[in-house]
Structure 1
Amino acid sequence: MKHLVIIGAVWPEPNSTAAGSRMLQLISLFQKQGYEITFLCSASKSEFSFDLSTISVQTKVIQLNDSSFDIEITVLNPDVVLFDRFMIEEQYGWRVMENCPNALRILDTEDLHFLRKAREMAFKQNRELVFEDYISDVFKREMASIYRCDLTLLISEYEMQLATETFKIDVSLLYYLPFLSEEINPNVPKFKERNHFISIGNFLHEPNWQTVLQLKKHWKFIKKQLPEAELHVYGAYVTEKAKQLHNEKEGFLIKGRAESVTEVYAKSRVLLAPIPYGAGLKGKLFEAMQLGLPSITTKMGAEGMHGNLDWNGFISDENDFVKKAFELYKDKSHWETAQKNGYEIIEKRFKKELFERDFMNQVENLQENLKNHRTQNFFGQILQHQSLQSTKYMSKWIEAKNI
């Protein structure tokens, strides 16, 4: 039996973040191919952390900047190691390379952090993004991590295009693997059985907080046209500044963590997501399409999701967001068409069967041809020799200092 070791940035919380759901999808793919899986993490667990033992995944708590990891990974002796975000590869990649040189190293980006950082900078400075915004320290670190790994998973077609066309990363080092959908259940409440608007997103994620601020700005105009409507804002880890936006009279209600996304989506008529910036795919919009909930979002929110297909509602700029919210909320025909569009997007672009076999074939082929694959990755070899050594000795210095 082959062995996959996942080194996590955090313990997965699928009910709190899209990243948590994504991690469980990856675990499922490898388990279907008969892999034994061990999940390692140095972070503390929360009460909302998923119990990985319920899906037969072994877990171990590891120490950051500690040579005990060397012993741990040597004993585990994995065939494949998956790093959860580039920061984890920076911290543990050199140890994996030294102790398990024949293990296939995979980086799951979740989204391209440097892209999100560049867009955040442009947004907060109220200007258009320019190429120089990309070239940050985060960009250099993330790119180095990509080249040091044997394969990097990108979740968005847009990010795949950016990586290969703009930054000329060889396609052999990358794999497009989006969110994956199981079977769709079309037996959800109908238009007349639903009420109110909804928004959802982890409040610790800065783009989600900025989205809530955009909603607050739009809501008074929507409420004026639809006085009976409310906006229910859900999300884990509600901050104090978010709580201050709660206003019963205005119908702007900060609800906090949703115990069941399926249930709150089923009650709602329209999802509002005026996302100003970000990267990757938006889990809230993906789940909305799966669960038959039409949405209104921005071009940024819909990026990489619908291809040439019609959106699950409207993609709206700031000028007509309120108008589109009113139209989708009140027009049964438009709403039902939007719902069908969402189902079609899921069926044609995110169905699990479209990706799982090809992805696992890619993993198997890389394992069989690992030496040749690494020989062709010249930049990776250079970075292993140079930047990896600096990361290595910084970690050793921290460990010695802590003794």
Structure 2
Amino acid sequence: MNQIKKLLIIGFVWPEPNSSAAGGRMMQLISIFKENGFEITFASAALDSDFMVDLSEFGIEKKSIELNSASFDDFIAALNPNVVLFDRFMIEEQFGWRVTEKCPNAIRILDTEDLHCLRTARQKAFKENRKFEIHDLFSEEVAKREIASILRCDLSLIISEFEMDILEDVFRINRDLLFYLPFLVDKMSDNDLLKLPSFEDRKNFVFIGNFLHEPNWNTVQYLKEAIWPLIKKDFPEAVLEVYGAYPSQKVLQLHQPKNGFFIMGRAEDANEVVKKARVVLAPIRFGAGLKGKLLEAMQCGTPSVTTTIGSEAMHGVLPWNGIVENDPEQFSKKAIALYQDENLWKESQKNGVVIINECYQKSSYSDKLTAIVNSLLTDSKSHRLHNFMGNLLQHHAYKSTMYMSKWIEAKNKS
């Protein structure tokens, strides 16, 4: 009889798959481990939210934990997981040393979501009105923390091939510590397109994105101030609907129905919203990782107009499902052309199906991930022996993290 394998996921937040791509990504990971016989516990120090998924429906135990508390030590020692998955490097910093101390044999996996140092460096370059250069990464404090976290873990899941290249070529991370795992979606066919609303049955431009994510808020500002006036000048009947979870007051203030610019707030069903739209607009100016909204557009048969940052690492050498353009004037002209030209629209829609089937198939990645995890479970000692820098960081870096945490814990008790 096979022994039950236990997975502990320590979440930055509780998963909200209908609010963000990160939430959808987490549910995809859960699905892979469930299918491979893991008993899963999901723990987080975050407060419950109104839109979090009901984990019990997926047979997952939910556990609230505390930061800087020895209660976590007792919890993980009793659970004794075979694998621990950290949701972002900040969580590994907070809990990794406790996992190592109480469950030294547990395989430690980091889901990076995206490279935070890349997103931060690009945002800083944008705000300073200069071009981002790859060497900017070396001056980011967050890069030192993030790379250290990757080195301390047995395996890190990387969502973007561009970020894989950065980690290998710029930071010189051993490939054995990295696993490329993009978003994973179901295969599509031309028949699936026929079941979706037709060109004639769709109307309006749409943008959708969680407003807690700074690149999304910046994109909406850019749409309102630069892109939309150009579109309205040449296409006065145009309407843009902006959807997103957690809109702040400054987002809501952009609502201007007389100008065809509608702030719609949270979408109850993002897929339905995108399916009814004719074109997705996403002039993203900084960020990292893969853009869930653009993959969702492909699934909904909705062509998109985005930037090189938006499309980065999303389509390999395949034609985009719409337009990639950085210049605001050209962006606006091509967005109108895509909206009005049925042949261009249909060709773009089919490009999206090809991208989905070539780049995001679960079967291409889930078996490989399972094989690597099983290999680590069988012989983690050899793997760790070859990760000298990781061992070095385990020895030194955790000491400072550990003592800081214990100091905060003692302070909280006094």
**TM-score normalized by structure 1?**
0.99
Match of 1:87 among 90, 93, 100: 90
Give 1:157's aligned residue.
Answer: 161
Aligned CA-pair RMSD: 0.8
Q: How far, CA to CA, are the matches of 2:115 and 2:392 in structure 1?
A: 22
Task: Report whether the alignment pairs 1:387 with 2:397.
Answer: yes
Deviations 1:81-130 (A, max 9, x none): 00000000000000000100110000000000000000000001110113
Q: How far, CA to CA, are the matches of 1:191 and 1:129 in structure 2?
A: 38
Q: Would the aligned equivalents of 2:231 and 2:332 in 1 still touch at CA under 8 Å? A: yes
* Superposed structure 1 runs of 4+ greater than 2 Å apart: 130-133, 183-186
**Pairwise CA distance, 1:132:** 4.3
Q: How far, CA to CA, are the matches of 1:49 and 1:131 in structure 2?
A: 36
Q: How far, CA to CA, are the matches of 1:131 and 1:278 in structure 2?
A: 14
Match of 2:113 among 106, 110, 128: 110
The gaps in structure 2 that reach 5 residues or longer are none
Match of 2:45 among 35, 42, 45: 42
Once the two structures are superposed, the pairs formed by residues 350-389 of structure 1 within 5 Å of their partners are 350-389=360-399
Q: Would the aligned equivalents of 1:40 and 1:60 in 2 still touch at CA under 8 Å? A: yes
**Pairwise CA distance, 1:317:** 1.4
Q: How far, CA to CA, are the matches of 1:230 and 1:131 in structure 2?
A: 38
Match of 2:208 among 200, 213, 222: 200
**Pairwise CA distance, 1:131:** 3.9
Q: What is the DSSP-based 3-state SS (H/G/I as helix, E as strand, rest coil) of the residue aligned with 1:222?
A: helix
Give 2:8's aligned residue.
Answer: 5
**Pairwise CA distance, 1:244:** 1.1
Q: How far, CA to CA, are the matches of 1:256 and 1:96 in structure 2?
A: 39
**Number of equivalent positions:** 403
Q: Would the aligned equivalents of 2:187 and 2:356 in 1 still touch at CA under 8 Å? A: no
Q: Would the aligned equivalents of 1:289 and 1:339 in 2 still touch at CA under 8 Å? A: yes
Q: Would the aligned equivalents of 1:281 and 1:304 in 2 still touch at CA under 8 Å? A: yes
Q: How far, CA to CA, are the matches of 1:219 and 1:298 in structure 2?
A: 15
Deviations 1:216-237 (A, max 9, x none): 1210111122222200000000
Q: Report the AA paired with residue 244 of structure 2.
A: G
Q: Would the aligned equivalents of 2:184 and 2:362 in 1 still touch at CA under 8 Å? A: yes
Q: Report the AA paired with residue 142 of structure 2.
A: V
Q: Report the AA paired with residue 361 of structure 2.
A: K
Q: How far, CA to CA, are the matches of 1:88 and 1:163 in structure 2?
A: 20
Q: Would the aligned equivalents of 1:195 and 1:229 in 2 still touch at CA under 8 Å? A: no
Task: Report whether the alignment pairs 1:401 with 2:411.
Answer: yes
Task: Report whether the alignment pairs 1:281 with 2:290.
Answer: yes
Task: Report whether the alignment pairs 1:324 with 2:324.
Answer: no
Q: What is the DSSP-based 3-state SS (H/G/I as helix, E as strand, rest coil) of the residue aligned with 2:91?
A: helix
Give 1:299's aligned residue.
Answer: 308
The gaps in structure 1 that reach 5 residues or longer are none
Task: Report whether the alignment pairs 1:72 with 2:82.
Answer: no
Task: Report whether the alignment pairs 1:169 with 2:173.
Answer: yes
Give 1:51's aligned residue.
Answer: 54
Give 1:349's aligned residue.
Answer: 359
Identity %: 56
Give 2:185's aligned residue.
Answer: 181
Give 2:27's aligned residue.
Answer: 24
Task: Report whether the alignment pairs 1:209 with 2:217.
Answer: yes
Task: Report whether the alignment pairs 1:146 with 2:150.
Answer: yes
Q: Report the AA paired with residue 85 of structure 1.
A: R
**Pairwise CA distance, 1:173:** 0.3
Deviations 1:111-154 (A, max 9, x none): 00000000000001110113442121100000110000000000
Q: How far, CA to CA, are the matches of 2:93 and 2:290 in structure 1?
A: 24
Q: Report the AA paired with residue 305 of structure 2.
A: I
Give 1:224's aligned residue.
Answer: 233
Q: How far, CA to CA, are the matches of 2:395 and 2:367 in structure 1?
A: 34
Give 1:235's aligned residue.
Answer: 244
Q: Would the aligned equivalents of 1:121 and 1:133 in 2 still touch at CA under 8 Å? A: no
